[in-house]
Amino acid sequence: MNSISPDRYARQRQFAPIGVQGQDRIERAEIAILGCGALGTVAAELLCRAGVGQIRIIDRDVVEWTNLQRQSLFDGEDARLGVSKAEAACRRLRQINDQVQTTAVVTDINAGNIEAVLAGAELVIDATDNFGVRFLLNDWALSTGTAWVHGGCVGASGQVRLFDGAARPCFRCLVPNLPPAGVVDTCDTAGVIGPATHTIASLQAAETLKWISGNRQAVSEDVLSIDLWNNRVRQVKLDRAIAPECIACVRRDFEFLRGDALGSSEGALCGRDAVQLNPHGDNVQIDLQAMARRWEAIGSVQSTRFFTRLQVDETTQLTLFRDGRVVVQGTDDLARARSLFDRFVGN
Say if residue 126's pLDDT is above 90: yes
Q: What share of the chain is helix, strand, coil (3-state, %, to 5)?
A: 35, 20, 45
The pLDDT-based confidence of 162 (bands split at 50, 70, 90) is very high
This prediction has a pTM of 0.82
Say if residue 347's pLDDT is above 80: no
Q: What is the dihedral of CA 265, 275, 200, 230, to 10 degrees?
A: -120
What pLDDT is recorded for position 1?
A: 43
The pLDDT-based confidence of 259 (bands split at 50, 70, 90) is confident
What pLDDT is recorded for position 257?
A: 94
Say if residue 124's pLDDT is above 80: yes
What pLDDT is recorded for position 169?
A: 95
Q: Where are the alpha helices (DSSP H) in the chain?
A: 10-14, 19-28, 38-50, 76-81, 85-96, 114-118, 131-144, 171-174, 187-190, 194-212, 255-258, 288-295, 334-344
180 versus 125: the higher-pLDDT residue is 125
pLDDT tens by residue, 38-76: 999 999 999 999 999 999 999 988 898 989 999 999 999
pLDDT tens by residue, 73-88: 999 999 999 899 999 9
Q: What is the mean pLDDT of the chain?
A: 89
39-43, 143-147, 259-263: least confidently modelled range: 259-263
List the domains of the chain with CATH numbers. Answer: 10-258 (3.40.50.720), 267-344 (3.30.310)
What pLDDT is recorded for position 278?
A: 78
User: Around Cβ 167, how many Cβ atoms within 10 Å?
Assistant: 10
